[in-house]
């Protein structure tokens, strides 16, 4: 049964764009070969880390949501552990509330509420 | 007799009244706390980066647990620091 997962990865900032793209597409292919279905990819770009990881203070954040069998996760995480370019990874199982939340956020429903609160604040200020 | 205008209270009388606390998640209908957006989670941690207790944030138990797991995941992904000074 295909469950929905979400994996967030921090990649070292040392890589050039080409290497970064190649690294990420490598993992996407690994997912696809194991029969996973990518729901959504999200690339945040370079961000400052809150604390240095492996002596690095910034990193590329990459989040991917996918539907997969449960044994795909072990393969994915094994590959992450072997790759030294990956500083840190976190994969989370999504229940229907979360998946629905992410979809809504992507369609801007949740975002709009925050914008309202922002506009409310600006009016107050 | 001192008219109403002249009476100057040392402290404003409204301080004693306790503001009715409510769970912001139930009110706003938010179902899931996302561990990825850090600025929303900042509201639930204090300057040292510690998670605020329920009596201060006014969350219900169910959402306080969701907030704490989200903060712990955000710390793992170094979106939030484990220990910070003057975070805000």
Tell me the per-residue pLDDT of B61-79, one tens digit each, with 9 for 90 and over: 988 999 999 999 999 999 9
A70 part of a folded domain: yes
Residue A47: partners with Cβ closer than 8 Å, 6 or more residues away: A58, A59, A60, A61
Q: How many domains does chain A have?
A: 1
User: What average pLDDT does this structure show over B35-57?
Assistant: 88
The number of C-alpha atoms within 13 Å of A43 and in the hemisphere containing its C-beta is 9
Nearest residue of B to residue A59, measured between CA atoms: B78
What's the pLDDT score for residue A96? 77
User: What average pLDDT does this structure show over B22-32?
Assistant: 76
A84 part of a folded domain: yes
The size of chain B, in residues, is 88
Taking the Cβ of residue A105 and every Cβ of chain B, the question of whether any pair is shorter than 8 Å is answered with: yes
Distances in whole angstroms, Cα of residue A84 to Cα of each of A12, A80, B67: 9, 8, 31
3-state DSSP assignment of residue A13: coil
Strand pairing category for A56-68 and A86-94? unpaired
Residue A32 backbone class (left: φ over 0; alpha: ψ -120 to 50; beta: rest): alpha
This model's pTM is above 0.90: no
A107 part of a folded domain: no
Residue-wise over A14-41: b if at least 16 C-beta within 10 A, else e? eeeeeebeebbeebeeebeeeebeebee
A62 part of a folded domain: yes
By the 10 Å C-beta count (0-12 exposed, 13-18 middle, 19+ buried), B53 is classed as exposed
A13 part of a folded domain: yes
Residue A79: partners with Cβ closer than 8 Å, 6 or more residues away: A27, A30
- pLDDT of residue B8 exceeding 80: no
What's the pLDDT score for residue B76? 93
- Full residue range of the structural domain in which residue A64 is found: 3-94
| CATH number of the domain to which A77 belongs | 3.30.70.60
**d(C-alpha B82, C-alpha B34), whole Å:** 18
Cβ contact, residue pair B84, A50, below 8 Å: yes
A82 part of a folded domain: yes
Q: Which position has the higher pLDDT, B53 or A104?
A: B53
> How does pLDDT run across A54-88, given as a tens digit for each residue?
998 999 999 888 888 888 888 888 999 998 889 99
Q: Which position has the higher pLDDT, B75 or A124?
A: B75
Distances in whole angstroms, Cα of residue B9 to Cα of each of A12, B3, B6, B16, B17: 60, 13, 10, 13, 15
**Mutual angle of helices A17-33 and A70-82, in 10-degree steps:** 150
Which ipTM score applies to this complex? 0.77
Chain B residues within 8 angstroms (CB to CB) of chain A:
28, 31-32, 34-36, 73, 75-82, 84
What's the pLDDT score for residue B32? 80
Cβ contact, residue pair B31, A97, below 8 Å: yes
Cβ contact, residue pair A50, B78, below 8 Å: yes
Cβ contact, residue pair A50, B81, below 8 Å: yes
CB count, 10 Å around CB of A78? 10
A72 part of a folded domain: yes
How many angstroms away from the CA of B1 is the closest CA of chain A?
40
A79 part of a folded domain: yes
> How does pLDDT run across A2-44, given as a tens digit for each residue?
888 999 999 998 888 898 889 989 988 988 888 888 888 888 8
- pLDDT of residue A109 exceeding 70: no
């Amino acid at each position: 049964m295909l469950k929905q997962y979400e994996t967030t990865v921090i990649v070292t900032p040392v890589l050039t764009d080409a290497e970064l793209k190649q690294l990420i597409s490598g993992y996407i292919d690994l997912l696809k070969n194991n029969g996973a279905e990518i729901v959504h990819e999200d690339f945040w770009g370079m961000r400052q880390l809150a604390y240095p990881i492996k002596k690095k203070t910034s990193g590329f954040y990459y989040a991917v949501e996918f539907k997969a069998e449960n044994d795909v996760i072990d393969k994915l995480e094994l590959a992450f552990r072997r790759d030294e370019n990956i500083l840190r990874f976190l994969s989370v199982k999504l229940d229907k509330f979360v998946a629905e939340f992410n979809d809504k956020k992507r369609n801007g429903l949740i975002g709009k509420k925050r914008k309202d609160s922002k506009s409310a604040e600006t009016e107050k200020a | 007799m001192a008219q109403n205008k002249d009476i100057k209270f040392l402290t404003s009388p409204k301080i004693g009244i306790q503001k009715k606390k409510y769970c912001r998640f139930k009110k706003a209908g938010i179902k899931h706390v996302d561990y990825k957006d850090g600025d929303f989670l900042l509201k639930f941690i204090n300057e040292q980066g510690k998670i605020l207790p329920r009596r201060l944030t006014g969350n219900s138990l169910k959402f306080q647990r969701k907030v704490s797991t989200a903060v712990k995941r955000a710390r793992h992904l170094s979106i939030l620091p484990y220990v910070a000074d003057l975070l805000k």
